Every structure is written in structure tokens, then in C-alpha cells.
Amino acid sequence: MVALTLPDGRVRRYDGALSGAEAASDIGSGLAKAALAVRVNGDLRDLSCELEEDAEISVVTLKDDDELVLDLLRHDAAHVLAEAAKELYPGIQVTIGPAIADGFYYDFSREEPFTPEDLEAMEARMHEIVDRDEKVVREVWERDAAVELFKSMGEHYKAEIISEIPEGEPITLYRQGDFIDLCRGPHLPSTGRLGHAFKLTKLAGAYWRGDARNEMLQRVYGTAWRNDKELRGYLHRLEEAERRDHRRLGRELDLFHFQEEAAGMPFWHPRGWTLYRTVEAYMRRRLEDAGYVEVKTPQLVDRALWEASGHWEKFRENMYTSESEERIFALKPMNCPCHVQIFNQGVKSYRELPLRMAEFGSCHRYEPSGSLHGLMRVRGFVQDDAHIFCTDDQINSETRRFCDLLMGIYRDFGFEEVQARFSDRPEVRAGSDETWDKAEGALRDAVEEAGIAYTLNPGDGAFYGPKLDFELTDAIGRRWQCGTLQVDFVLPERLDAEYVGEDGVRYRPVMLHRAILGSFERFIGILVEQYAGGFPLWLAPVQVAVTTITRDGDEFAGKVAERLESAGLRVTLDTSAEKINYKVRLHSHAKVPVIVAVGKREAEDGSVSIRRLGSREQQSLALDEAVVRLSEEARAPGA
């Protein structure tokens, strides 16, 4: 007897084992037709799986709003892609093809490079395979037999993968038509169930197993969704992402550039550096108002400190080092050990806690060249870093203060939707289980008291403590992890930080690691894409372009620019001989938020004509009123 409990609590009993497909059919014919897979005690399995014991089950369909459903579709799409490539290009070898965020990829070994035309051909063949509705069959093989099978087909990469699977582990292969692939599954019951809501998107190179010493493979990327509407929405987001790409806008708006002589480190141009300093000035003011003290710590620090903190063992491969006078120094990859050194100067009293220590700390970390991505992934960056040294009893109140500060800053930058993720202890970590129990409990209590909703992200904590990461959602729905709050009982112990309590006894402070922007470089890249370069007035590198309509307005235009600059606005003056329509197009392309036009009539009556970026409407104001209005509008939030 097998008892299956359905999501609504009903129990169906069967005389013996049955497949997931049979269970779906017994529940209802409509459900059986829509079924893609089955969840058994929470685990996703093929419909062909045998249900031999009592279990909680649910039948998975396209109506399930679940990332696992998309992963299932995308994994099958990768297999269909591999089948299409094998049919089109005899002799090609398949390697691995997983589902990834928003899509899938498959890596191929082929002497001839793929072309955009090949991409179109493979996509067309994928549609044919879906129309064939080939049955997908799971097979269990002996390891050696599976190795020989793939060797006989010329699939040496697959044979290598299988040969490294430990003895005793089941080898599962999936067959569809004449194509067979190594895979753990689960998969759809047939290729037809994938549907046609997929598209191949791009080609790239990838080293076998991610090792630059191995062969370069050809990676084909694609995306797959439940239906055409979702696919069209995603492709629109891709177009929007391309339009907003900060690397392109950085060049077009003359903000920054990169070059190989300093890979992973931006060259900031005057306008870009103005934007950077505007963000920095805003953050400095917000931190000062929130009771932080700002410090500055050295760039090069002896390895002895990094060994004592534990960072040398954990991050050595990502640290830049220098040797001098038979000592090894490292460019700091983070600021926390140095902040403890400042805390340790002199005896600290409980009366001085909480001590909120902030630094716009310049850090360097080695990132492989293939992972560098404009401002989003760099080797040299500045963190809006801070560490709060406090007592156990102050964790809750400091967490609440920090969360309020973070949310307010995000709102000021135009981000309204923020999610939090709670990450607990990773497998490799510093400190005892007892210490981690205490840290996780403290952070969880503090977050819940602060009223912050969060999702769990198991095993992704920092090596010294649990953390709460904050993701903000941008204008086209993408999520960016920026802020973080981490509870650390380990580093104060390792670096011997102490304070004297009210009872005269020495105690270890709690160390709260926290950041809001994460890094200035990455956050500015996010801002560029959030606003597609058209920043709100307070952030814009150039806030006002004063342009002349006729040469009669040159003198008055200079006076207008001076008045606006004296009011604190960032102004460019354009008295060129070009026609006014050309000037408007020029400064609009440069994303200047406000264009002030003056000519003979404006000079005579002391007025200006104002046009906003993206609008054709013009507003005529007296100069004095325009200066007041624009200067108030350009004031940073809360200033």
C-alpha cells in the first residue's frame, strides 16, 4: 500500500508502486496533460519516477510560479540545443549545459568557430526537435559501460566526466530521439513539452572546466520561458539593458574609460569624477548625521596582520602583494582588520560604545580578467565601509538604526524596492559552532525586531559571521546586491579588541561590518543604468546648459551662467555659432537635465527660457526666479 498526500491534504492510497505520471492521471486527466514533473517530499523528479513509499507529492505544471519550473524548461532547452548541434555539425563534441539565471548555455568543442548564421540554424533545428515531440527516457548505466559508450561516440569530454564519478554513484543518462546525454535530471517527459518560447542569444568562449590551461570551448547562450509573452518581456528587458549599458554610456557621456594598462580599474573623466564626488559628498553627510566618525587606514599592510585576522588564509589568492626589506605586504582587499587597529589604540570604555567607524576605503582584489565587467566587476574600488563596535545589548538598536539609514539612502537614489537575504554559516568558517550560534541568533533577533522581512540563503555567510544582504531592484526589474550587515564575534577575538565594562571587567566588543553602496564604482554603474544616463538634477555631472539663441545673447548668457554657478549649480556655457536646435540636440544627447536658452528678447527683459530633458515644452521665467527654483531643485536630498 502506498499513500500519497496531495497539497490540499487529501490522501490517495494505491495497492502498489506507481509512476508520477500515473499519479497525475489518477488525480485528473487535465492535470496529466499539463504535467511536466512531480515533486516528491519537496524534491523535483521525472514523471516516470516510481513512487514506492508513502510521500507528499505535487504535480508540476507551467502554471506553477516557481523558479524550479523555469530551471526545468531551461535545462531541457540546453539538451535540445545539444541535440540540434549534433545533428547539424557531425564531429562536434558536447560538454556541459546547465540552466542559469534567465536562461541556459551549452559548451561545445568544434574546430570551426560558430557564426551568427549557425546560431540561427541551431535555433531553427531546436524548433524542429520540439515539433517531433521526442520522448525523453531516463536510463541508469554502469560507470565503465557509460564511459565506453561515450568514447565510442567520440564524446571524450563526457567520458572524462563520467570516469571521475566515484564508484557506486548511479550514472543516469537521458535519451531523446538519437541523442543521449549524461545528466542527473529531472527532465520533461518529451521534447514537445518544452514549447517554442526560447531563443538563442549569443556566442562566447569558455575554457574547459573554467581552467585557462585547458582547451577553449565555444559557448552558446539561450533563454527559455513558459510562454511567448514571458519571452517577449525578457527580450525587451535585454534591449533595455543594452540601451542602459553603463559601459557604452560611460563613453558617450564622457564619464570614464578602461584600458589594458590598468585592467579592472577605471579612469574617471571630469564629468564622471564630478558624479563620483557628488555621491561621496552625499554619503559623507548622511554618515556624519548618523553619528559615524570617518577614518583613513593604510593601503599596504604587513602580511602578519592578514594572517592574524584569517584573511591571508581565506583570500590570499585574491590579494596583491609587494616585498620590501624582506617583508611581504599586501594591498588591502578590505578595511576591517585596520579598523580594529584604530579601536585598539588606548583603552576603550563601555561609555564610548557604540563606536561607528567609517572609511571610504580604497581596496584592491585580483579578479580574473574574464570576469571583469566595466564598473560592475573591478580590481580597484572604494567601499563605503564602516564597522560598528558595540556591546551585545546594542546589536538590536544598531541594526535598526542601520536598516533605517540604508532604506532612506536607497530611496534618495531612486530605489524603492529592496529585498533582504539572511545568510548563515558556510562550510569553511572561522570560530566555533557556539560562537556561530550566538552570532546567528543575535542577527536574527535584531533583524526581526527591526521589522525587516527576509528570505533565507543557507550557507552563504561571511567566513567570520552571518550576514544580512540587501538587494535593490532597478528600473527594469533587475536585482543588485549592494548593502550588507554582518555580525562578527570572531575578529575582535583574533585581534584582541577589548573594552572596559561598567563593572571594570574587560570584554570583547561585537563588530558589525556594514556597507550600503557596497562599492562606489559598482553603485555608480548601477546608477548609470538605473537612469540610462539621465540623472536627476542633484546627481547630474552637468546640471544646466546655458545656450545662446542669437549672438545678441552672449553677454547675458555669461551673466546667467555666473548667477547659476554662484547658486551652487554645475553649469556649462554654450555660446557657439550653431543654431539653437542643434545645441538643444547636443546637450540633450549629453543628458543635461536643464537647458536654459537666452537671446535678444531674454537679455532685454532679464528672463530665461527653460527646457527639461525629454520634454519639448519651454518655460519662461525671470532670471532671479529661475536661479531660486533650480538651486532648490538641485539640492541633494536632506541637505
Where are the alpha helices (H) located in 310-432, listed in sequence order? Answer: 311-315, 336-343, 395-412
Look at residues 95, 76, 96 and name the one whose alpha carbon lies nearest to residue 187: 76
Distance, CA of 156 to CA of 168 (rounded, Å): 22
The grid coordinates listed for 235 are: 527580450
Distance, CA of 382 to CA of 227 (rounded, Å): 42
Residue where the block lists cell 599596504: 300
The alpha carbon dihedral of 257, 271, 543, 600 has a sign of negative
Find out whether 382 and 520 touch, Cβ atoms under 8 Å.
yes
Query: Which residues have a catalytic role annotated?
Result: 336, 365, 383, 385, 387, 467, 513
The grid coordinates listed for 323 are: 616585498
For residues 328-357, one letter each, b for 16 or more C-beta atoms within 10 angstroms of the residue's C-beta and e for the rest, the string is ebbbbbbbbbbbbebbeeeebebeebbbbb
Angle between helices 67-88 and 116-132 (to 10 degrees): 110
Distance, CA of 529 to CA of 540 (rounded, Å): 14
Find out whether 202 and 105 touch, Cβ atoms under 8 Å.
no
Distance, CA of 546 to CA of 551 (rounded, Å): 13
Look at residues 288, 299, 95 and name the one whose alpha carbon lies nearest to residue 183: 95
Residue where the block lists cell 543521449: 180
Find out whether 103 and 225 touch, Cβ atoms under 8 Å.
no
Find out whether 94 and 86 touch, Cβ atoms under 8 Å.
yes
Look at residues 413, 442, 430, 403 and name the one whose alpha carbon lies nearest to residue 493: 430
Burial of residue 429, with CB atoms counted within 10 A of its CB: 0-12 exposed, 13-18 middle, 19 or more buried: buried
Q: Where are the beta strands (DSSP E) in 151-283?
A: 171-176, 179-182, 198-207, 216-224, 256-257, 267-268
The grid coordinates listed for 470 are: 540587501
